[in-house]
Amino acid sequence: MRSDFVDYLELFKLKRRFITVSTDDKGRLFIDIEGPMIQAMFFEVFVLAIVNELYFDALSNASVIEEGQRRLDEKVTLLHQYATEQAKCDANTPPLIIADFGTRRRFSKAWQAHVVETLHKAEPKIVSGTSNVYLAKKLGMTPIGTMAHEFMQAFQALDVRLRDSQKAALEAWVHEYRGDLGIALTDVVGMDAFLRDFDLYFAKLFDGLRHDSGDPYIWGDKAIAHYKNLKIDPRTKILTFSDGLDLDKAWDLHQYFKGQIKTSFGIGTNLTNDMGITPINIVLKLVECNGQPVAKLSDSPGKTMINNDTYLAYLRQVFEVDEPE
């Protein structure tokens, strides 16, 4: 973080006037945020965490906590098994690395802290990071995060040609972080369109890529092939997976890509809200910037978010992205 941003954070406070909350006649909750992006983007994590905690607090009882603890104990056992398997590998084999990405959809603040501390103490070399900066500070873990979809989406409405918006976003990121935070998000306009923009220049500057939608095996194979086509050894890069993972899926992906490329895994709901109660599907995404629509063309059709079908069709045409079947 640059010093000017740290100075800004010292004075920062979320302002209530930029957020409105309402319900409809079916009892559905609507939360709209509109204001300067430096304000609006910061609401997401806090708002989603609050909604989750209020919802699950109404459902919580001793048996729910007991079931959550039982499932947490199973995760500890799994981590010990993975650590035993890793110990059999040679020193050149990339390790299994898992981070907590579960703040937004956690069962509660207290439960997230309990889960992360338990898993980190059980296998600190495997569960080494968390996207919750406070927990990272408290537990001596690595704070871990990657670029957000709304960062890439915003460039669709800035003063650049739409077809160049993704490249402009990547360029701005490199300029700001100068080699830090080097994981690029690939699914704002889909993996194939992303790779057309992710040329040798960006492929050398970024440490790796983040998967957040679509088949992770197909996505990873495409990433490896792309690096090879650019004459870059994939084993020097890392793929970060963060889409609907649990420990078993992370381990299977790690085993599949082992020896081809390094991997890491961000696990959210399955770590911090695995209580035997069906999690709620909530999300906040950017839909308009500077008075213009913006969209996310996910590699999973259900994850595409847009309030303007005309713009969505235009975005598909510009980036040569087909309609999902």
274 neighbors 68 (Cβ within 8 angstroms): yes
Q: 228 to each of 116, 237, 259, how far by Cα in Å?
A: 37, 11, 14
- Tens of pLDDT, residue by residue over 234-264, are 999 999 999 999 999 999 999 999 999 999 9
Is there a single domain that holds both residue 141 and residue 152? Answer: no
Residue 282 within a domain? no
Residue 166 has which token pair?
A: 């993704």
Give mean pLDDT in consecutive 10-residue pieces for the chain, a chain of 325 residues: 89 95 90 93 94 95 97 98 92 92 96 98 96 96 90 94 96 93 94 97 97 95 98 98 96 96 97 95 89 88 73 93 76
- Helices of type H across 58-177: 62-87, 109-122, 133-139, 149-154, 165-177
Is there a single domain that holds both residue 170 and residue 264? Answer: no
Q: What is the pTM of this model?
A: 0.93
Residue 28 within a domain? no
Is there a single domain that holds both residue 170 and residue 191? Answer: yes
Orientation of helix 216-229 relative to helix 247-257, angle to 10°: 30
Enclosing domain of residue 229: 147-241+287-325
Is there a single domain that holds both residue 226 and residue 319? Answer: yes
Is there a single domain that holds both residue 263 and residue 157? Answer: no
Is there a single domain that holds both residue 185 and residue 209? Answer: yes
Residue 250 within a domain? yes
Q: What is the pLDDT of residue 324?
A: 67
Query: CA–CA separation, 203 vs 237, rounded Å?
Result: 9
Is there a single domain that holds both residue 270 and residue 300? Answer: no
146 neighbors 185 (Cβ within 8 angstroms): yes
| Amino acid of residue 317 | Q
